Amino acid sequence: GNSVTQMEGPVTLSEEAFLTINCTYTATGYPSLFWYVQYPGEGLQLLLKATKADDKGSNKGFEATYRKETTSFHLEKGSVQVSDSAVYFCALSEDTGNQFYFGTGTSLTVIP
Amino acid sequence: NAGVMQNPRHLVRRRGQEARLRCSPMKGHSHVYWYRQLPEEGLKFMVYLQKENIIDESGMPKERFSAEFPKEGPSILRIQQVVRGDSAAYFCASWAGTANSPLHFGNGTRLTVT
pLDDT for A55-92, tens place per residue?
Answer: 999 999 999 999 999 999 999 999 999 999 999 999 99
- H or E element: which one contains A89? strand A86-93
pLDDT at A29: 81
Say if residues B8 and B109 touch (Cβ distance below 8 Å).
yes
Is the Cβ pair A44, B33 closer than 8 Å?
Answer: no
How far off is chain B from A67, nearest CA to CA, in Å?
17
Cβ of B106 and A43 within 8 Å?
yes
Residue type, B26: M
Count CB-CB contacts under 10 A for residue A78. Answer: 11
Exposed (0-12), middle (13-18) or buried (19+): which is B62, by Cβ within 10 Å? exposed
Measured in angstroms, the CA of B81 and the nearest CA of chain A are apart by 26
Residue A98 binned pLDDT confidence (cut-offs 50, 70, 90)? confident
Cβ within 8 Å, pair B99-A95: yes
Does residue A100 sit at the B interface (CB-CB below 8 Å)?
Answer: yes
B83, B113 contact by CB (below 8 A): yes
State the CB neighbour count (10 A cutoff) for residue A91: 25
| Closest Cα in chain A to B55 | A98
pLDDT at B99 over 90: no
pLDDT of residue A82: 97
